[in-house]
Amino acid sequence: MAEIVTARAPLRISLAGGGTDIPSYSARHGGLVIACAIDRYVGVTVHPREFRGRLRTAADSCETVAEAARHPDPMLRACLTRAGLLRDRQVTVFGDVPSGSGLGGSAALAVSVLHAASHPHAHAPDADALAETASRIEIEDLGRAVGKQDHYMAAHGGVRLLRFAPSGQVETERLDLDPGVRAELEERLLLFYTGISRDAGDILSEQNRRTLQGNGDALERLHAIRRIADDMADCLRKGDLDSVGPLVEEHWRLKSRLGTRVSSPWLQGLHDRALAAGAAGGKLLGSGGGGFLLLVCAPDRRQAVRRAMTGAGLVELRFRFTEHGSRAVALPL
């Protein structure tokens, strides 16, 4: 029976350790990342069609997979090719945030396409297998200098500690936070969109090159970021949320100098404006260079920080954590 399949995968925010999952570092030293899946998503709807050629909606958002080899978006083209959706299908992509915004949208797209492609089979896809295949799309097929944290978070969901072994193996550990700690952590985290979309692979290529060359400054910064992830895990397990902001702030101090495009005077000015309004720490998510600014605020400073950020023209993205990774549902035609 023909089916329409819709799949979606969550976006994520990373609290600590970002950058240590990139193979140029993790393959030598091992990486560690603390990340949280949020209830904002990227997804796809895949349905069969009988007519050949190319269809578009009025919004120009709908493409047939029959033309995957000529699709203008290399990421989607690579996802469709890996998924084997090469004939007689139409695909619509939807998302809650702009592409290139630092929340792991490319990984969520890849995981969604792969999940949709596997859904009609008898067994639900294994989350690790989804994440590994999705990561190969970006790292191998597209040659992008990215790590695997986004793919594992999109497939698994939850608040997780991710360990990246030099062998390439990824171990995921769910951090079962006390419900009160979890709720307060959500309340302390604010997201604001800077309005800048960028290609994470382009920005991370400089860090990747410096790491491969054994640049001492880059390696020392990544070692320190790795240690911050250990400290962040300890704080969360103990419910010590007052230490989260300073750790995020220290992470940004280290990360902002990993490459010349990670920050800019304007972006640093936004960060400093938030701290002046009372934020305990902040950092650009993903590769930096734009996208979303994550801020950590004590409850009594949240409104002041919101006013400062909206006054600077930034748009807030409200969110909650989600325990669910990618999901798919099929409807018979």
Give the tens place of pLDDT for each residue, 16-30.
999 999 999 999 999
On the question of pLDDT at 244 being above 60, the answer is yes
Q: What are phi and psi of 252, to 5 degrees?
A: -65, -40
Is 0.85 surpassed by the pTM of this model?
Answer: yes
Catalytic residues: 150
How far is residue 164's CA from residue 167's CA, in Å, rounded to a whole number? Answer: 8
Pull the structure tokens for residue 200: 């994470």
Confidence of residue 52 (pLDDT cuts 50, 70, 90): low
Q: What pLDDT was estimated at residue 266?
A: 94
How many CB atoms lie under 10 A from the CB of residue 197? Answer: 15
Q: What is the pLDDT of residues 162-217, one digit of tens each?
A: 999 999 999 999 998 999 999 999 999 999 999 988 776 677 788 888 888 888 99
| N residues, the chain | 333
Q: What pLDDT was estimated at residue 289?
A: 84
How far is residue 261's CA from residue 30's CA, in Å, rounded to a whole number? Answer: 25
How many CB atoms lie under 10 A from the CB of residue 137? Answer: 25
Q: What pLDDT was estimated at residue 211?
A: 85
Q: What is the pLDDT of residues 122-168, one digit of tens each?
A: 566 899 999 999 999 999 999 988 899 999 999 999 999 999 999 99
Q: Which residues are CB-contacts of 314 (< 8 A; sequence separation ≥ 6)? A: 192, 193, 194, 195, 270, 293
Helix (H) or strand (E) holding 30, with range, is none
Among 209-213, 279-283, 308-312, the least confident range = 209-213
On the question of pLDDT at 87 being above 90, the answer is no
Residue-averaged pLDDT of the chain: 89
Helix (H) or strand (E) holding 247, with range, is helix 244-255
Strand order in 189-193's β-sheet?
281-284, 292-296, 189-193, 315-316
Confidence of residue 66 (pLDDT cuts 50, 70, 90): very low
How many CB atoms lie under 10 A from the CB of residue 165? Answer: 12
E strands within the chain? 3-16, 31-48, 62-64, 89-95, 159-164, 170-174, 189-193, 281-284, 292-296, 315-316, 327-332
